[in-house]
Amino acid sequence: MIFNNAVYGMKYVYVIHFKINETTYTALENMTWQEWLDSEYNTDRYEVYTSLYGDVVIGKSSDDMGIYDKAGYVKSSDTIMAQFEYAYEKN
């Protein structure tokens, strides 16, 4: 994807793909989870919630456990990793 900027000229923005429980999603390179949540790429309407335990999680309802990777549950400030398969756990 190429964006044209009058001040800086052309800027290349690369599209990446990642999975959540076998479903493939699209994001822009170096996009954080919060940026993705607020973008048109969030086609399944994931949101940020405070869990029953007080943790901030990304899911589809406040009862969900959230999206996680090998290190634990992702935070909205984390950068999405290209070609990575995340897991999503419902409560």
Angstrom CA distances, 70 to 1, 5, 54, 74, 82, stand at: 30, 38, 21, 10, 14
Could you tell me if 26 and 16 are in contact, meaning their C-beta atoms sit under 8 angstroms apart?
Answer: yes
Enter the pTM of the model.
0.77
CA angle, 71 then 56 then 80, to 5°: 50
**Mean of pLDDT values over 31-59:** 83
Kindly state the percentage of the chain with pLDDT values over 90: 36
67-79: pLDDT as tens digits: 777 778 888 888 9
**Mean of pLDDT values over 15-41:** 93
